[in-house]
Amino acid sequence: MRRNWLAKAALATVALSVPMAGVAGGAQAATQPGSTKPNAAVPNNHGPLRKPLKKPKSHRSTKAKKKAHNPNYRGKHRSFNQDAATLVKAYEGVPYSYGGTSPAGFDCSGLTQYVYRHLGKTIQRTAEDQFLQFRPISKAKAWGGDLVFFHVDSNPNSYVYHVGVYEGGDDMVAATTSGSDVQWQNFSWAGDTVTFGTLTH
């Protein structure tokens, strides 16, 4: 009885020591020991390998480089003002004519209206109405081509009796008075009765 039991135990030990690879019909492992490559017998279910996509080129900005800042550039409005300040000088010497609105004869607001209309801006007919139409600005912010308004007193909202085209500093071009003509004038004599107005800035 004891011998039978020992014989059975010996057979079990021998059976456990046989490697699986030696057993007929046993499946092979998917990988060889110590290797990460798939066995050649395992099918590739993912189709042919694709080439890796190329990395996109650097996303550099395609915006044009800014030009160096020009402190004298004021855009299209500055161009309009420059044109107005230049054009009005072409009418120096045209005789003053009360109610005149053409190069045959100008009064002060007829001259300013003509110059602005010639450059594409419609403005009111009289100096007072032009003052009410324009945006008030300080002398420091006025450009050549803006308008200079003359008031009956130092109140900036008082009645406007005269107007000219500003040329910078204390100068303007205006149709002066009866018996005279369109002239380049210095208006410093008017003191604090003068204001400035613009349509463009």
Q: Measured at the alpha carbon of residue 61, what is the angle toward residues 58 and 64, in degrees to the nearest 5?
A: 145
167 φ/ψ angles, rounded to the nearest 5 degrees: -120, 5
Residue 52 pLDDT: 56
Residue 78 pLDDT: 80
Residue 178 pLDDT: 86
Number of CB atoms found within 10 A of residue 142's CB:
19
Among 197, 180, 201, residue whose Cα is nearest residue 129: 197
Residue 108 pLDDT: 98
Q: Write b or e for each residue in 26-57: b if 16 or more Cβ atoms lie within 10 A of its Cβ, otherwise e.
A: eeeeeeeeeeeeeeeeeeeeeeeeeeeeeeee
With both helix axes pointing from N to C terminus, report the angle between 108-118 and 75-87 in degrees, rounded to the nearest 10.
130
Residue 50 pLDDT: 57
Pairwise CA distance, residues 191 & 107, whole Å: 22
pLDDT tens track, the chain, 201 positions: 444 544 454 444 444 444 444 444 444 444 444 444 444 444 455 555 555 555 555 444 444 444 443 444 455 678 999 999 999 999 999 999 999 999 999 999 999 999 999 999 999 999 999 999 999 999 999 999 999 999 999 999 999 999 999 999 999 999 999 899 999 999 999 999 999 999 999
Residue 28 pLDDT: 43
Pairwise CA distance, residues 114 & 194, whole Å: 22
Residue 7 pLDDT: 46
CATH of domain 75-198: 3.90.1720.10
Per-domain residue ranges for the chain?
75-198
Residue 64 pLDDT: 45
Is pTM beyond 0.75? Reply is: no
Q: Is 78 exposed, middle or buried (0-12, 13-18, 19+ CB in 10 A)?
A: middle
Query: 154 to each of 91, 119, 150, 174, 194, how far by Cα in Å?
Result: 30, 32, 9, 21, 8
